[in-house]
Each structure stands twice: as structure tokens, then as C-alpha cells.
Structure 1
Amino acid sequence: MHCTFFLSIVTAALAGVAGHVQQRIRSGAVKARGVNLGSWLVTEHFMMPQSPIYQNVSADLQPLGEYVVTTALGRAVADPLFKAHRSSWITENDIKEIASFGLNTVRVPVGWWIYEDPNDSDWQAYSPGGIQYLDALINDWALKYNVAVLVGMHGAKGSQNGEGHSAPQLPGESHFTDDADNVYTTMQSAKFIMSRYQSSVAFLGLEMLNEPTITPGRVYNIDRTKLIIYYTNLYSKLRAICSSCIIMLSPLLNEQYESFGNQWANVLPTGSNNWIDWHKYLIWGFENWSMKDIINTGTQWIANDITLWQSRRSAPIFVGEWSLAAAEGILGELKNGTNLNTYANRALAAMKEAKAGWTYWSWKVNATDWRSYGWNMQALLRAGVIDLKNA
């Protein structure tokens, strides 16, 4: 009796492994088609301005990221607020709904502080406990609903871009590569994630860093050479942990174009499980474009750039972030349902060119104005604006 029960458990487990979409994405049999779980384990004020987290934080500090917000509140106040947010922002029902629309992947931003290193104390500036929610996602919900999970290092210690979504200690400044401890601590967090989940059926892989940026005119920027050294050193450590997991590299944010391919395509060894992450938004730098130009010229430009890269290089492109959000000047035109549907169809057609696939930014926001609508894939899918039948 006990033997029969044990065999049934093993058989069920093996069936789950064999049938899970994660393996087919890794093998290249299917592309990733998914969505980001933004503002969950790394909060972003613009996506959840009504959250109780911000009620007792001054308006000038609210957009500056988790470190600043937590410091302003104090851990005693912040911890229960972040716990309530993490418990409710993304739940099993969200993953169920994501799968019901035919999406097969979620990309999950995390910060270096998700690893609560017992030999370090710096992470204690942030509210703890995020790892339990990532555990539930990877080992329960995503397994149950056949969704692959790609984890992204959204916040490096010291910050790789100075933006609020990397939770910098000094907003507007990037000190990730200034200090060897920043690099070491971030690598330890990445290794922790890979080691923890490398045998989990739903775990697709890890992005080593999100949107590293060198901003012209800033005094404090990351160092390009040190960034590449970080990538190559971390890659070898991660690949030693998991030989088949996806490992993804993000070029500098302003170099995510085919014309910079020679600088980034060969940083990692050639391999189908080594992906390049591009983020493609038709917002910043497109403020003076008309809606017609965005729909026709903008989306085609993205498609052409991806196609040219794929024709010249073996490293698969993954568009980790894109959306239907638009610059302020054309928001009114987006209220025209025909424009929005056409934009969605053209953008999806462009994303199809990415060899590895894509994830939309983001699953949900808690604001309802037109500035926010394009960031809200849940609302766009429910309204039928995004139709994935031909994606």
C-alpha cells in the first residue's frame, strides 16, 4: 500500500516536470508570452499611488523607491504595510487569470535584499519576508497553472540606475560598481535565487540585472567595464549551479538596439539558454510623434530592429518590457478604441519577431486614469483590447 502510494506521488511529479511549459520554453519549442508582476516584491509608486504604504510619506519621497519609503516610515510602521501589500497585490487568483488568457510566463522583479543574508545586516533597511511570496509563486501557483517564472534582479545594491524601481539609497545616483561589496552582495543574492529554485519545475531562469544605465550629465554612474565583468563572473557562477536554466543579460538601457550588438552579443557564451533582454517603449523620446506614426512607424521600427539582430546574431532577444502606454500628447488619441486596438495588434506583431518571446509591463496598476491604462495588461485583456490569438 505504502509502495503504491509512493509510486503514485513520483509518477505525478514526473508528469508535472514533463508537461510543464517551462521546459518547452527552455528548449525553444515555444516562446515565452507573458507579463511582469511589477510593483509586487519591488514596489513602484506610479503603479500603486493609492497604496496605504504611501499615506504617511511626503509626496516628494513617494516615488524614490523602497529604501527611501521604508526609512521614512521606519521598519515598525513599514513592515506590516509591505506584508499586507505583498499578500494582496499578486495572489494565486492572478496567476490563474494570467494562465486563462493564454499567457505562459511571468517575469518577477526582485531586489538584492530578498536574500536575508545572516552574515550581513544591510538588507535590514528593507522590509523582510519577500522570499515567502516568491516561494509560493514558483513552487505552488505557477506549477499549478502551468506558468513559467523568470526572476529579474531589479535592484542591485548601490543601484544600477538611480531610479526608484531599483530602490537606491541615494536617489538619482548609481553606485553599484563603485564598491566591491555592492557587486559581491548583488551576486550573492543572484546565486541564492538560482540555488533555491534551480530544481523547481516552474522556474525558467534569472535575469542578472535590470536596466543598468549610464545617464549623460550625471555625476554618479555605473562603470561599463565593471558591469561587463559582473556579468561574466556571475554568469559562470550561475551556470555552475544550473546548466539548463535561462540566464539573461540586459545591455545598458540606451544600448538596447541592433547597432550596439557587437558590444553585447558576445558577453555571454553562445547558447540558446543565454538571452538578451531589450525593453521597448514608444514613450520617452517619442513625445512629438503622432498616434498614427507610433502605430505605423514606431512598431515597425521595433520589429525591424529585432529582426536585424536575429538575422546577424545567435543570442536570442527577449523583450522583457513593453506596453501600450503613450506619451502625454497622444493620450487623447488612445481613447479612440480603434486606435488602441490597432496599436495593440501592431505592437504584438512586432513582439513576435523576438526569438525568445516577451513579457508585458505590467499585470496591474491601481490607478484608473488614461495615463495608467496602457500599463495595465489585466484591464486591457479583460476589455479585449489585447487579443492574444495571433500573438
Structure 2
Amino acid sequence: MTERDFATIKSFGLNAVRIPVPYFIFGDCKPFIGCIEELDKAFNWAEKYELSILIDLHTVPGSQNGFDNGGISGVCKWAKQPESVQFTLSLLERLAERYGKRKGLYGIQILNEPITEKMWDLFDIQNRYKPVDEEMAKGSGPISLKFLRSFYIDAYRVMRKHMPEDKAVVFHDGFDLKSWKDFMREEEFKNVVLDTHQYLMVAEANGCEKNLEAYVKYIQENFEKDVEEMQKYFPVICGEWSLFNSYGTGVDTKGGQSPLNGVEANTEILSSDEKKELYSTIAKAQLNAWKKGSGHFYWNYKLLLDTVNEPGWIGWDSWDLGKCVAQDWYPIEKN
């Protein structure tokens, strides 16, 4: 990521970026290399181009979900390690202290995608994401909503000490969006935003048929209605979504499995015009759904894959916002 990327994001008519950061960002978790200077650069670029930043703590020691993007595939033990939980709180406080008063800060997301029972069972995590070290994975399991609620309140309090009330504290729904209606209703909690991640690959795992009509119906009857319902309790953002779906790849991806997981898409089943109809239609439907809330962030701005020359990746360019824009799948709406 360079200054040019922030200029491009601005040219797309967007006004904010969500930046995932690892728990070792400050360089105090050997052997991992710190990267705080890169986040400093991002703030300088964002402020130049009048973009705001949502800092997203994407990983924690012991992992909060067992995903392959959660730090340790197949391992989910963070919530059972008091020292890791305390480290996470101190890390969030340091981030709030460093960036809390920056002009370019929209807010800080406490933790990306902590997994609760519903998603743990749906995705059968330890079979889907095989642990490299089976011994390390022993004792892994989902995080209870009770624990997550308590942790979020602790995190809010340590962060708010350094963040004025015009900066948002963002919390993820743990893949259980409608379980938060009675949360943080007290006067103490100011400018708290609820983040939900809605993907068509999860819709498929929930039984959605793999065709355009079914996708649009699911978006309208689930994504849109659920966001609208929860917007009554919190400002709701869809912090991750994309145009990716199995129909566009030509194979059943089993909820987003890739060639890295042994699921390859090697044959184009849709013409260029058919792809444009598929992706532009579900883009419009999803953008209409997010308008029922308070904003959205596409995952991801840029994917470092050559989906043209590398076999197995048909359909995966739909994860890349720049490629979606270039192919007229994603509408640019200038302010």
C-alpha cells in the first residue's frame, strides 16, 4: 500500500478505509516484526486525501476465531488465556493513545470477528481450518457472548480515556447480529458502533441457492432487514462484504474455500456480459441493504492475485474492489 492507493480510493468516491492490524504491531511480540510506522504513514496519506481510518484489531494471541486469517489456523484459545486478554486491552489502549486525537481517525474496532457458538458450528472450524500444530489446537472452542460482552465493556473504558466522544468505538457482532439489542444502553457509552460482516458465501453455507435470483432474495430478506432492525439500537456498519459467490466461480466453494484449501475453479461458465449482470446486480442489492445502516467497507481494496494467469482462481477477482470497478461490476458514486 502506497500513497497512490489512497489517491485511488479517493477517486472511487469512497471516504473511509478500514485497516486491519496485528497484535504485534508495536514490535513487542518476538519473532514477529512490528509495523506501527506503516500505520503512521497510512494516517498521513488518509489525511492528505480527506479519508478517515477505522483501525481494526484483526488478530490476538491465541486467536479469537481459528480462521486462517486470524493468526493461527484451527486454534481459538485467546478468551481462555487471561494474560492474552490483558495484553489485548493494553494494546487497544496504546492504539487509542497514539491515534485517538488524529483528525483522520474515524474509530477503533475492538476485535475482528470473535467467533461465537453459531458460526463455530456452521463452519465446523477445526475441520475447515486444519491446525498445523494439533497439540496447540487442543482446548480450542467458541467464545461465549457473556465473555464477549464483558470484554467489550472493558475495552471501551480503556480506549475512551484517550479518545474523544466524536471518535467511534466499534464492536463486532460475533456473527450473531441480533443478540446485542440490550447491550451498552447505559448513559456511559457514547458513539458506539455495531459492526456486522455479511457475505454471500455464508449465505450459501446457510442454505441459499447458488444463483442470482436466490442471492438477491437472500440479501433483501436477511441482510437488509437485519441491518434495518439493528439500526434502531446502534449505528450499524457492514465492516466486510464483497461480490464473491460460488455461482460466479462455477464451483461450490463450500462457503469460500479457495485453491489454498483444495477447491479450484478452472472453467469459465459465465460470459463477460453474464458476469457483469451477476456482479452488478448483487452489488446494487447489497449497497441498498447497507443504506439501511450507517456505512460499509468492501473487503478488500486490493488482492495480490493474478486470477488471469494462475489456474484455479476464476471468480476470485470479485474480492478485489479495484478489479470490480474496472469491470463495471461495482458502481462508483461520486459525492
Shorter chain as denominator, the TM-score bin is 0.7 to 0.9
Alpha-carbon shift at residue 285 of structure 1 (Å): 4.2
| Residues in 1 aligned to 2:188 and 2:298: alpha-carbon distance in whole angstroms | 27
Deviations 1:183-203 (A, max 9, x none): 011111111111111121111
Q: 1:268 to 1:366 in 2, by over 3 A?
A: farther
Q: Specify the alignment match of 1:237 in structure 2.
A: 158
One-letter amino acid of the structure 2 residue matched with residue 370 of structure 1:
I
Structure 2 residue 321 is matched with structure 1 residue 377: yes
One-letter amino acid of the structure 2 residue matched with residue 213 of structure 1:
I
Instruction: Indicate conservation of the 8 Å contact 1:174/1:220, yes or no.
Output: yes
SS at match of 2:30: helix
Structure 2 residue 95 is matched with structure 1 residue 212: no
Structure 1: runs of 5 or more not aligned:
1-89, 118-122
Among 327, 338, 347, which residue is 2:277 paired with?
A: 338
One-letter amino acid of the structure 1 residue matched with residue 21 of structure 2:
V
Q: Specify the alignment match of 2:260 in structure 1.
A: none
Instruction: Indicate conservation of the 8 Å contact 1:114/1:189, yes or no.
Output: no
Matches within 5 A, 1:1-391: 90-117=1-28, 123-128=29-34, 130-138=35-43, 140-168=44-72, 171-214=73-116, 215-216=120-121, 219-224=139-144, 225-244=146-165, 245-253=167-175, 255-256=176-177, 258=178, 260-262=179-181, 264=183, 266=185, 270-271=189-190, 273-286=191-204, 289-301=209-221, 302-311=223-232, 313=233, 315-327=234-246, 331=250, 332-333=269-270, 336=274, 337-355=276-294, 357-367=295-305, 368=307, 369-389=313-333
Instruction: Indicate conservation of the 8 Å contact 1:115/1:192, yes or no.
Output: no
Instruction: Indicate conservation of the 8 Å contact 1:232/1:268, yes or no.
Output: no
Structure 2: runs of 5 or more not aligned:
127-138, 251-268, 308-312
Instruction: Indicate conservation of the 8 Å contact 1:178/1:222, yes or no.
Output: no
SS at match of 2:149: helix
Instruction: Indicate conservation of the 8 Å contact 1:361/1:376, yes or no.
Output: yes
Instruction: Indicate conservation of the 8 Å contact 1:148/1:203, yes or no.
Output: yes
One-letter amino acid of the structure 2 residue matched with residue 210 of structure 1:
N
Deviations 1:243-284 (A, max 9, x none): 22110011212x12x3x233656499553x210000000113
| Residues in 2 aligned to 1:270 and 1:349: alpha-carbon distance in whole angstroms | 29
One-letter amino acid of the structure 2 residue matched with residue 289 of structure 1:
E
The TM-score, its normalising length taken from structure 1, stands at: 0.68
Deviations 1:33-65 (A, max 9, x none): xxxxxxxxxxxxxxxxxxxxxxxxxxxxxxxxx
Instruction: Indicate conservation of the 8 Å contact 2:27/2:33, yes or no.
Output: no
Q: 1:280 to 1:390 in 2, by over 3 A?
A: farther
Deviations 1:62-93 (A, max 9, x none): xxxxxxxxxxxxxxxxxxxxxxxxxxxx1110
Instruction: Indicate conservation of the 8 Å contact 1:284/1:327, yes or no.
Output: no
SS at match of 1:125: coil
SS at match of 2:289: helix
Larger Rg: 1
Bigger RCO of structures 1 and 2 (CA < 8 A, at least 6 apart): 1
Instruction: Indicate conservation of the 8 Å contact 2:199/2:242, yes or no.
Output: yes
Matched residues, percent identical? 24
Alpha-carbon shift at residue 371 of structure 1 (Å): 3.0
Q: What is the aligned residue count?
A: 286
Q: 1:334 to 1:134 in 2, by over 3 A?
A: farther
Instruction: Indicate conservation of the 8 Å contact 1:290/1:330, yes or no.
Output: no
Q: Specify the alignment match of 1:28 in structure 2.
A: none
Q: 1:327 to 1:109 in 2, by over 3 A?
A: same
Q: Specify the alignment match of 1:21 in structure 2.
A: none
SS at match of 2:283: helix
| Residues in 2 aligned to 1:347 and 1:333: alpha-carbon distance in whole angstroms | 21
Mean CA deviation greater in 194-203 or 278-287? 278-287
Mean CA deviation greater in 362-371 or 260-269? 260-269
Instruction: Indicate conservation of the 8 Å contact 2:18/2:55, yes or no.
Output: yes
| Residues in 2 aligned to 1:340 and 1:334: alpha-carbon distance in whole angstroms | 12
| Residues in 2 aligned to 1:126 and 1:267: alpha-carbon distance in whole angstroms | 39
Q: 1:329 to 1:145 in 2, by over 3 A?
A: closer
| Residues in 1 aligned to 2:226 and 2:239: alpha-carbon distance in whole angstroms | 15
Deviations 1:329-376 (A, max 9, x none): 764458512222212111111111112x01000001122233311100
